[in-house]
Chain A
Amino acid sequence: GENVEQHPSTLSVQEGDSAVIKCTYSDSASNYFPWYKQELGKRPQLIIDIRSNVGEKKDQRIAVTLNKTAKHFSLHITETQPEDSAVYFCAPNSGGGADGLTFGKGTHLIIQP
């Protein structure tokens, strides 16, 4: 099965600075790479995803970059704001409908005012 590692486990940044979270995976068949944001007590919500035919995708302050050769992808958040404080999970998978997602252990992002 997929082995997923996320780093760092906790990230504290000043408001307005950038944050980068990295996810490494083991299954070379993975071709869909989502990032989920989970606020305390809430559901995981998809914030951005990328498929293996592209290397980078951007949506306003959030971007994801993929290095399929090295089997890692990263979440980039620029101009961080207090509402970005949450736990972020990566969940690389092969994209097949029946496949359950294998989540990383999560990164707790703390935005310091």
Chain B
Amino acid sequence: EPEVTQTPSHQVTQMGQEVILRCVPISNHLYFYWYRQILGQKVEFLVSFYNNEISEKSEIFDDQFSVERPDGSNFTLKIRSTKLEDSAMYFCASMADTDTQYFGPGTRLTVL
């Protein structure tokens, strides 16, 4: 069964550095999402992406964040200048033309 994949599984970075988190959605899916989950808390929506543009974004998704689909398979989340409070698990998700979103295994981002 196809699955969403994410790399790396764990990223450690220094405060102020840029990071890029990578996702490969399920191949025939049309909608792509990023979520984050701070340790011990709920999953929070960041941004959705469809037809090569951002569809919806939350208050969390400020100017420090950007997303890109550079080719037909990858979907990336960039954080330009990381802050301590960006430390979290970041999940990518994708969806076909149904309602069900499928999540990747996540990237644990640690900002020192």
Chain A residues with a Cβ under 8 A of chain B: 32, 34, 36, 38, 42-46, 49, 51, 89, 93, 95, 97-106
Residue of B nearest to A98 (CB): B55
Q: How far is the CA of A99 from the CA of B42 in the complex (A)?
A: 17
**Which residue on chain A has the smallest CB distance to residue B57?**
A100
B102 touches A100 (CB 8 A): no
A99-B43 CB under 8 A given contacts A43-B104, A44-B91, A49-B100: no
Can you show 5 pairs from A to B with CB atoms below 8 A apart? A38-B43, A43-B103, A97-B55, A102-B45, A103-B43
Interface SS of chain B? strand
Contacts of A101 in B (CB 8 A): 33, 35, 43, 45, 101
Take A43-B91, A44-B91 as given contacts and tell me if A89 and B58 are in contact as well, using a CB distance cutoff of 8 Å.
Answer: no
Residues of chain B having any CB pair with chain A under 8 Å: 30-31, 33, 35, 41-48, 50, 55-56, 58, 91, 95, 97, 99-106
The secondary structure that dominates the A interface is: loop
Would you call B42 and A103 a contact (CB within 8 A)?
yes
Bound CA span A106–B40, Å: 10
Q: Are A44 and B48 in contact (CB under 8 A)?
A: no
Q: B30, B31, B43, B58: which contacts A44 (Cβ < 8 A)?
A: B43
User: Considering the chains assembled together, what is the distance between the CA atoms of A83 and B59 in angstroms?
Assistant: 36
Q: Evaluate contact between A89 and B95: CB separation under 8 angstroms.
A: no
Q: Which residues of B contact A46 (CB under 8 A)?
A: 100-102
Q: How far is the CA of A8 from the CA of B112 in the complex (A)?
A: 35
Minimal beta-carbon separation of A96 from chain B (angstroms): 9
- What residue of chain A has the Cβ atom nearest to residue B95's Cβ? A97
Q: Which 6 residue pairs spanning A and B have beta carbons closest together?
A: A100-B45, A98-B55, A43-B103, A32-B99, A95-B99, A103-B43
Cα A80 to Cα B37 with chains together (Å): 27
Cβ distance B100 to chain A, nearest Cβ, rounded Å: 6
Query: Please, which residues of chain B bring their CB within 8 A of the CB of A97?
Result: 30-31, 48, 50, 55, 95, 97
Which chain A residues border B99 with CB–CB below 8 Å?
A: 32, 34, 49, 51, 93, 95
How far is the CB of B92 from the nearest CB of chain A, in Å?
A: 10
